[in-house]
Amino acid sequence: MIDKAKKQLVEELNELRRRLAEHKKFNLIQRQTEKRIQEYEKKYRILFENATDAIYLIDPKNQEILDCNPKASEITGYTIKELSSLTISEVHPVEGQDIVSKIFRKIAAGGSLSGISGINHIRKDGTIVPVEINASTIDLEGRKCTLALIRDITIRKRAENRLARNKAEFEAMFNSIPDAAIYTDADRCIIMANPAAKKIFGYSQQYLQGRTPDILYAAPSCCKEQDRQRFHTDSAHPGPHKVMYCRKN
């Protein structure tokens, strides 16, 4: 009987040791997991704080801003605390708030949208800032949130506007040339022709685009002579030279 009790006691001690070892192992795994989570959170926070785009975490139900990064504060002129008391629509001009609200309602329904332009932020001081929006629904610690990355595209818009002005000025100058003028690319494909060229040769702009100027010469030999005169410096004769062209008819 004593041996049996002793044997049972040994078995219970061994079971206790086994459970204690499992408990220690579980605690070790838990500590390791918590450490990894903390490391991920630290990395996320570093990325969040130093991102070059404004980042917003938004409540999909009422579109309130739950959190945002310093770049959001920089773009809007509001403090992070002030932004946390606003909805995402309220950092946009009044005339655009309905559109922004619809965009985020669509995203809240489970979608994602990228490269949305033609949208403006409005700074605290009333300054308009053109932006581009990329947003999607994410699961954050069991809670559905809208993650929005909003980029200030002021510099890009200025460049686009400057390019548009330069293009308009070039076209105005090009179209005002009284003589026929044809603009080609490096492969000698016609990009555009001015009104005088259309009038002289009888071809429409749509017809000429993508074709080479060869169709405008009276004969292939005229085209070759033009190439020799203009492009081959070893045999070229500087200055004006005669070339035979032909009209569409």
Give the model confidence (pLDDT) of 218-232 as tens digits.
666 666 666 666 655
- E-strand ranges in the chain read 54-58, 65-68, 112-122, 128-140, 143-152, 182-184, 190-193
Average pLDDT over residues 17-43: 64
What SS3 class is residue 58? strand
Q: How far is CA 111 from CA 69, 105, 246, in A?
A: 23, 9, 59
Q: Same CATH topology for 52-157 and 177-249?
A: yes
57 pLDDT above the threshold of 90: yes
> 69, exposed or middle or buried, with CB in 10 Å at 0-12, 13-18, 19+?
buried
Identify the band that residue 24 occupies on the pLDDT scale cut at 50, 70 and 90: low
Q: How confident is the model at residue 111 (pLDDT cuts 50, 70, 90)?
A: confident
Residue appearing with tokens 């990064």: 69
- Point out the least confidently predicted range of 6-20, 96-110, 175-189, 230-244: 230-244
> Helix, strand, or coil here: 185?
coil
Tokens (6 digits) for 85: 């008391």
For 52-157, the fitting CATH number among 3.40.50.450, 3.30.56.10, 3.90.420.10, 3.30.450.20 is: 3.30.450.20
**Domain at 177-249, CATH homologous superfamily:** PAS domain (3.30.450.20)
Q: pLDDT by residue (tens digit) across 62-105?
A: 999 999 999 999 999 999 999 999 999 999 999 999 999 999 99
pLDDT score of 246 more than 90:
no
Quickly state the pLDDT bin for 164 (edges 50, 70, 90).
very high
Q: Write the DSSP symbol of residue 249.
A: -
**236: pLDDT strictly greater than 60:** no
φ/ψ of residue 99, rounded to 5: -65, -45
Confidence of residue 134 (pLDDT cuts 50, 70, 90): very high
In order of 34, 46, 71, 75, 144, the CA distances from 52 in angstroms are: 29, 12, 7, 10, 24
Average pLDDT over residues 53-70: 93
Residue 1 predicted with pLDDT over 60: no
Q: Alpha-carbon distance 155 to 134, whole Å?
A: 18
When pLDDT is averaged across residues 4-14 and rounded to a whole number, the result is: 62
What is residue 76's predicted lDDT score, i.e. its pLDDT?
95
- Residue 3 has a pLDDT of 58
- Please state, in angstroms and as integers, the Cα–Cα distance from residue 248 to each residue in 92, 175, 197, 201, 208, following that order: 55, 20, 11, 6, 11
What is the domain partition of the chain in residue ranges? 52-157, 177-249
Q: Which residue type does 215 have?
A: I
Residue 171, C-beta contacts closer than 8 angstroms, at least 6 positions apart: 192
